[in-house]
């Protein structure tokens, strides 16, 4: 049997240079803290006496006490590297035709990134120890090392026979059509290891969407209605690796995808969709039963046995069974000084990650008996040493797993930990809870007088409802559970302002989420600061929930050598992303693209707070063949 094969592809150099003043806070060993930070154990007679008691000193003789330093000296691991990205990408496409019914497609992608940062040594950009041909990568059809990956984002066969279409193999499934916003696009997660999601905004998530083996088919029921269904092996979202240039998880915390993925590797997601077309009106109704690819994080046991003898057993647990490790000691992957150090460091990192730093302390006590016993001992010992009898945790409800109720109580307790142990690091483990997503959408094309703004205006609407969706709950074992609605309304149009220029493409979109924000942080735990616990979403906006708006346009020149792009994403909580871009194509083979990305976050309620530092100028130079 003869097979027609068409081969094409490209090789491209990609670079991004930071133009903002602040470096990535998740690479410094601390989200906020650097230099001297106040130790709140000091200056408070009760907390000082409690420290003396916990360190075996004579509590009746304050003059003899050896107290911790009044300030934590937080080392800044930032080396002020300016290059965020310096990479080479190559992709080769194989289009296969076997006969009139059978075709195939294979895409081979190779990506290499140079070592452009050196905060804790050479960064690991790609290895996740989840899956792959050698078991240490992020995708089943992938080989990788810390600075390169080679994978097959597409490798499938297509069968067409009248009303029936079937696709079998490794593939992406893209159901959504919104720019920036993912509403109906629920089949696949995102792989953010290359350039996070900060490349060309107009490309949406084509490079980031994670493929996996699937069977997908559609059948035309009538001239108006089509049914489509799929079964696909579970493949999770992969966040940038800790210590890599675009990391947004604080560097002392190791993402243990390898542990989390093991429990879900053999699961299969499935979905069904009905599409209808009636003249200018298009409709879709769908349901997807899946394990959510976006990870829900919980603390893992630290496993640092070196300190077990020093602490003995508390509440039936030894030190290595609780979450933290003393950085720099045997059993810790983080160098001394590279861990979280002090209450300001803890609260700042929690706020940037969309966590309630105070409630996270109670979570540690509930989930790890060793820490719970330690907190209970602090409450009891400090109450005995306090003439008023209140102690450091006067409002504790220990029977219900509540030790600290406000930031004033939590800060000296955290600083007690750090005064005794030094700086700390830990593991966080991912899980991917099951959920059912129900959705619907529609689009309508308006026709009016030619060359008017309403002529051929496309209006799109998408909505999903997910009952009992799960989110990270201050890194607790038990996730936060809530029903969620997500909706998006989009207006799109090609409009020709001049007969001498090609049409300009415009897109204006609005997204509303009832329980989480754009990046998936639950609204109930955002808004904290170094000195304030999370307060949840601000009131008085467009109802309860998160709202975002995007606007984009593209304008090519008459000779099609140049194209000008502009994209804006606005967060109603106070933040924005602006990206102008220029594309130059002097010939069919060569393409030069440059863009600038600016971000602003008013406070930690904004979705841009963890990545506000990523003001950058990027360039891509590609050769097609």
- Domain co-membership, 133 together with 177: yes
- Domain co-membership, 443 together with 590: yes
**Distance, C-alpha 279 to centroid of its chain:** 40
Rounded Cα distance between 89 and 544, Å, is: 43
Which tokens belong to 169? 């193999």
Specify if 29 maps to a domain: no
Specify if 467 maps to a domain: yes
Strand partners, 358: none
* pLDDT for the residue numbered 73: 86
* pLDDT for the residue numbered 540: 44
- Quickly count: other Cβ atoms within 10 Å of residue 377's Cβ: 15
- Condensed to tens digits (0 to 9), the pLDDT of residues 141-172 reads 999 999 999 999 999 999 999 999 999 999 99
pLDDT > 80? residue 538? no
Lowest mean pLDDT among 30-39, 247-256, 509-518: 30-39
- Domain co-membership, 545 together with 461: yes
Strand partners, 85: 16
- Condensed to tens digits (0 to 9), the pLDDT of residues 495-515 reads 998 889 999 999 999 999 999
Rounded Cα distance between 440 and 463, Å, is: 6
Q: What angle do the packed helices 357-367 and 407-421 form, to 10 degrees?
A: 60
Identify the three-state secondary structure at position 129.
coil
Strand partners, 504: 495
- Domain co-membership, 391 together with 502: no
Mean pLDDT, the chain, whole residue set: 92
- Phi–psi pair at 544, nearest 5 degrees: -75, 130
Closest to 74 in 3D by CA, of 40, 28, 43, 119: 28
* pLDDT for the residue numbered 30: 65
pLDDT > 90? residue 49? yes
pLDDT grade for 33, boundaries at 50, 70 and 90: low
Whether 140 contacts 212, CB under 8 Å? yes
Which tokens belong to 335? 């160098």
- Domain co-membership, 266 together with 287: yes
* pLDDT for the residue numbered 134: 72
* pLDDT for the residue numbered 451: 82
Q: Which residues contact 2 (CB under 8 A, 6 or more apart)?
A: none
Q: What angle do the packed helices 407-421 and 343-352 form, to 10 degrees?
A: 120
- Domain co-membership, 616 together with 490: yes
- Condensed to tens digits (0 to 9), the pLDDT of residues 51-94 reads 999 999 999 999 999 999 999 987 777 777 889 999 999 999 99
Closest to 347 in 3D by CA, of 107, 534, 99, 143: 534
Closest to 201 in 3D by CA, of 621, 624, 593, 609: 593
Closest to 308 in 3D by CA, of 318, 297, 299, 295: 318
* pLDDT for the residue numbered 338: 86
Mean of pLDDT values over 449-456: 87
Mean of pLDDT values over 443-454: 89
- Domain co-membership, 17 together with 54: no
Reduced to 3 DSSP states, what percent helix, strand and coil does the chain have, rounded to the nearest 5?
15, 40, 45
Q: Which of 281-304 are b and which e, b meaning 16 or more Cβ less than 10 Å from the residue's Cβ?
A: ebbbebbbebbbbbbbbbbbbbeb
- Quickly count: other Cβ atoms within 10 Å of residue 609's Cβ: 29
Say how many domains are in the chain. Answer: 2
pLDDT > 80? residue 414? yes
* pLDDT for the residue numbered 31: 62
Specify if 30 maps to a domain: no
Final residue of a domain: which of 429, 452, 486?
429
Rounded Cα distance between 256 and 430, Å, is: 7
pLDDT > 90? residue 22? no
* pLDDT for the residue numbered 535: 84
- Domain co-membership, 43 together with 127: no
Q: What angle do the packed helices 357-367 and 343-352 form, to 10 degrees?
A: 100
418 dihedral zone (left: phi>0; alpha: psi -120 to 50; beta) = alpha
* pLDDT for the residue numbered 130: 84
Final residue of a domain: which of 408, 429, 450?
429
The DSSP bridge pattern shows strands 434-446 and 253-256 to be: unpaired
Strand partners, 144: 149
- Nearest 5°: CA angle at 329, between 325 and 334? 65
- Domain co-membership, 20 together with 162: yes
Q: What angle do the packed helices 369-385 and 407-421 form, to 10 degrees?
A: 110
- Condensed to tens digits (0 to 9), the pLDDT of residues 104-147 reads 999 999 999 999 887 667 888 999 888 767 778 989 999 999 99
- Domain co-membership, 290 together with 311: no
Which tokens belong to 256? 């243990």
Whether 68 contacts 41, CB under 8 Å? yes
Specify if 284 maps to a domain: yes
Mean of pLDDT values over 392-418: 96
DSSP state letter for 100: S
* pLDDT for the residue numbered 29: 63
Residue with structure tokens 């506000």? Answer: 612
**Distance, C-alpha 115 to centroid of its chain:** 22
- Domain co-membership, 422 together with 473: no
**Distance, C-alpha 110 to centroid of its chain:** 23
Half-sphere exposure of 466 (CA within 13 A, CB side): 26
* pLDDT for the residue numbered 283: 96
Higher pLDDT among residues 199 and 471, named by residue: 471
For residue 40, CA distances in Å to 43, 344, 410 come to 7, 10, 10
Residue with structure tokens 């820490």? Answer: 371
Half-sphere exposure of 28 (CA within 13 A, CB side): 20
Domain that holds residue 596: 4-24+80-295+432-624
Instruction: Please give the share of the chain, as a percent, with pLDDT higher than 90.
Output: 78
* pLDDT for the residue numbered 294: 95
Final residue of a domain: which of 429, 460, 487?
429
Element (H, E) at 91: strand 83-97
Rounded Cα distance between 508 and 528, Å, is: 31
Confidence (pTM): 0.92
- Condensed to tens digits (0 to 9), the pLDDT of residues 421-440 reads 999 999 999 999 999 999 99
Specify if 149 maps to a domain: yes
Specify if 481 maps to a domain: yes
**Distance, C-alpha 404 to centroid of its chain:** 29
- Domain co-membership, 605 together with 493: yes
Specify if 526 maps to a domain: yes
Which tokens belong to 147? 């600075």
Rounded Cα distance between 273 and 439, Å, is: 9
pLDDT grade for 454, boundaries at 50, 70 and 90: confident
Rounded Cα distance between 468 and 427, Å, is: 26
| CATH code for the domain of 449 | 2.40.160.10
pLDDT grade for 1, boundaries at 50, 70 and 90: low
Q: Which residues contact 559 (CB under 8 A, 6 or more apart)?
A: none
- Condensed to tens digits (0 to 9), the pLDDT of residues 174-197 reads 987 766 788 999 999 999 999 887
């Amino acid at each position: 049997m003869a097979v027609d094969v068409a081969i094409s592809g490209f090789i491209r150099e990609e670079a991004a240079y930071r133009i903002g003043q602040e470096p990535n806070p998740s690479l410094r060993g601390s989200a906020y803290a650097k230099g001297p930070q106040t130790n709140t154990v000091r200056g408070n007679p009760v907390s000082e006496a409690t420290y003396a008691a916990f360190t075996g000193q004579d509590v009746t003789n304050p003059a003899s006490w050896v107290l911790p330093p009044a300030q934590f000296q937080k080392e800044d691991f930032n080396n002020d590297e300016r290059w965020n990205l310096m990479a080479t990408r190559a992709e080769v496409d194989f289009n296969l035709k076997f006969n009139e019914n059978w075709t195939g497609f294979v895409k081979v992608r190779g990506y290499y990134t140079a070592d452009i940062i050196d905060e804790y040594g050479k960064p690991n950009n790609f290895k996740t120890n989840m899956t792959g041909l050698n078991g240490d990568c992020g995708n089943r059809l992938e080989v990788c090392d810390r600075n390169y990956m080679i994978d097959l984002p597409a490798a499938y066969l297509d069968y067409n026979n009248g009303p029936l279409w079937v696709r079998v193999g490794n593939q992406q499934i893209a159901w959504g059509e919104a720019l920036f916003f993912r509403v109906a696009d629920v089949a696949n997660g995102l792989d953010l290891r290359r350039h996070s999601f900060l490349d060309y905004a107009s490309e949406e998530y084509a490079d980031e969407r994670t493929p996996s083996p699937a069977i997908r088919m559609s059948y035309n029921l009538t001239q108006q209605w089509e049914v489509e269904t799929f079964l696909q092996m579970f493949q999770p979202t992969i966040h940038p690796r800790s210590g890599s240039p675009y990391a947004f998880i604080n560097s002392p915390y190791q993402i243990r995808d390898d542990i989390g993925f093991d429990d879900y590797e053999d699961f299969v997601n499935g979905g069904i969709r009905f599409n209808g077309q009636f003249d200018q009106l298009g409709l879709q109704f769908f349901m997807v039963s899946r394990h959510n690819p976006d990870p829900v994080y919980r603390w893992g046991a630290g496993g640092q046995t070196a300190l077990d003898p020093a602490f003995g057993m508390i509440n039936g647990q030894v030190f290595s069974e609780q979450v933290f490790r003393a950085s720099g000691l045997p059993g810790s992957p983080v160098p001394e000084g590279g861990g979280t150090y002090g209450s300001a460091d803890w609260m700042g990192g929690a706020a940037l990650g969309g966590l309630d730093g105070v409630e996270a302390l109670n979570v540690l006590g509930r989930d790890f008996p060793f820490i719970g016993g330690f907190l209970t001992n602090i409450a009891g010992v400090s109450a005995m040493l306090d003439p008023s009898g209140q102690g450091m945790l006067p409002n504790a409800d220990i029977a219900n797993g509540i030790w600290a109720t406000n930031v004033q109580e939590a800060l000296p307790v955290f600083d007690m930990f750090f005064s005794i142990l030094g700086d700390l690091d830990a593991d966080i483990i991912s899980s991917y809870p099951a959920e059912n997503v129900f959705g619907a959408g529609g689009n309508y094309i308006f026709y009016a007088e030619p060359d008017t703004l309403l002529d051929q205006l496309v209006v799109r609407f998408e909505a999903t409802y997910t009952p009992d969706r799960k989110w990270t709950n201050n890194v607790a074992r038990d996730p936060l559970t809530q029903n969620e609605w997500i909706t998006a309304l989009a207006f799109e149009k090609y409009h020709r302002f001049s007969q001498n220029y090609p049409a300009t493409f415009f897109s204006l979109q609005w997204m509303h989420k009832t329980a989480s924000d754009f990046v998936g942080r639950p609204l109930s735990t955002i808004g904290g600061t170094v000195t304030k616990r999370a307060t949840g979403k601000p009131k008085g906006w467009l109802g309860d929930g998160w709202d975002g708006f995007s606007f984009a346009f593209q304008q090519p020149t008459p000779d099609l050598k140049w194209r000008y792009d502009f994209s804006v994403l606005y967060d109603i909580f106070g933040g924005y992303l602006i990206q102008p871009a220029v594309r130059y194509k002097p010939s069919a083979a060569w393409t030069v693209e440059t863009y600038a990305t600016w971000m602003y976050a008013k406070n930690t309620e904004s979705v841009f707070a963890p990545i506000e530092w990523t003001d950058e100028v990027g360039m891509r130079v590609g050769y097609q063949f």
